C-alpha cells in the first residue's frame, strides 16, 4: 500500500510539473498552432491534442517549446491527411450516388419514349431534343423530308403530353425491336454520343426502308436529360 501511495504521489507530482511547463510554453504554442491551422477552432483543437500527448508521453524535464512545436506539427499533418481522405471518400460517394441517379433517370426517360412513341418518333425526338440535330439533318439521315420530320416531331410531343386522340402505337412495335431501340437510346444518352444510335438505324426494321446510310455531319451535345421529360 505504501508503495502504491508513493507511486500515486509521484504521478501526481509529475502531472503538476508538466502542467506548469505547458502553461509556461502556452503563448508560443498558441502562436505556432494558429500559424499552422489558420483558424481559431482548429488551432484550439491542435493545442489540446498537443498538450494531451505531451502529458501522456513525456516527462516534465523533456518538455520544451521545440518539442511542443514538433508534436503540434505532426498532429496537424495527420489531421490534414485524415481530412483529405474524408473529402475524397465523400466525393467518391457523391459521384457514385450521382452516377446511379443519372442512370435511373436515363432509364426512366428511355422507357417514356419507347412506351409512348412509335420507333420513328422516338428516334427523331432523341436526335432533335437530346442531341440538337436540325430537322434538315435528321431528314437527310432518314432519307425523308424536313416537313415529314417536323410533323413526326409534333406528333411525338403530343403523345408525350398524353394526347389520347392519337392512334395507338402498339401496331408499330415488335417486342424485339422495342428492346433493341431501348438499348440504343440508353447507350447513346449514357455515352453522350448520337452516332451509337445513328449507325444502327438501318438495323431497325420499322425504319430500314426510310433510313439513309450516311455518316452524320452534325456533332451535338445532349441537353440536360432532366428537362426532356418535362
The predicted-structure confidence for 106-135, as pLDDT tens digits, reads as follows 888 888 898 889 889 999 999 998 899 999
The secondary structure of residue 145, as a DSSP letter, is: -
**CA 22 remoteness from chain centre:** 46
Give this prediction's pTM: 0.52
Is the pLDDT reported for residue 154 higher than 60?
A: yes
Average pLDDT over residues 78-88: 80
Report pLDDT digits (tens) over 130-147.
899 999 999 998 888 999
Three cell numbers written together for 36: 499552422
**130: CB partners within 8 A, 6+ apart:** 188, 189, 194, 222, 223, 225, 228
The percent helix, strand, coil of the chain (3-state, each to 5) is 80, 0, 20
**What is the pLDDT, as a whole number, of residue 4?**
42
Q: How many CB atoms lie within 10 A of CB 142?
A: 21
**What is the pLDDT, as a whole number, of residue 170?**
65
Is the pLDDT reported for residue 227 higher than 50?
A: no
Amino acid at each position: 500500500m505504501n508503495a502504491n501511495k508513493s507511486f500515486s504521489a509521484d504521478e501526481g507530482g509529475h502531472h503538476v510539473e508538466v502542467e506548469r511547463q505547458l502553461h509556461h510554453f502556452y503563448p508560443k504554442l498558441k502562436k505556432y498552432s494558429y500559424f499552422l491551422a489558420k483558424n481559431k477552432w482548429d488551432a484550439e483543437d491542435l493545442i489540446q491534442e498537443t498538450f494531451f500527448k505531451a502529458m501522456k508521453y513525456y516527462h516534465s524535464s523533456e518538455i520544451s517549446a521545440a518539442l511542443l512545436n514538433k508534436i503540434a506539427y505532426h498532429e496537424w499533418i495527420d489531421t490534414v491527411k485524415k481530412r483529405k481522405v474524408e473529402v475524397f471518400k465523400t466525393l467518391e460517394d457523391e459521384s457514385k450516388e450521382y452516377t446511379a441517379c443519372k442512370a435511373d433517370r436515363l432509364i426512366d426517360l428511355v422507357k417514356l419514349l419507347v412506351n409512348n412513341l412509335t420507333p420513328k418518333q422516338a428516334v427523331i425526338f432523341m436526335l432533335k431534343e437530346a442531341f440538337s440535330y436540325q430537322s434538315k439533318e435528321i431528314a437527310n439521315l432518314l432519307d425523308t423530308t424536313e416537313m415529314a420530320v417536323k410533323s413526326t416531331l409534333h406528333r411525338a410531343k403530343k403523345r408525350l403530353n398524353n394526347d389520347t386522340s392519337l392512334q395507338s402505337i402498339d401496331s408499330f412495335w415488335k417486342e424485339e425491336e422495342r428492346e433493341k431501340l431501348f438499348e440504343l437510346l440508353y447507350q447513346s444518352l449514357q455515352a453522350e454520343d448520337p452516332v451509337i444510335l445513328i449507325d444502327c438505324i438501318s438495323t431497325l426494321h420499322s425504319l430500314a426502308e426510310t433510313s439513309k446510310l450516311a455518316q452524320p455531319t452534325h456533332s451535338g451535345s445532349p441537353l440536360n436529360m432532366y428537362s426532356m421529360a418535362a
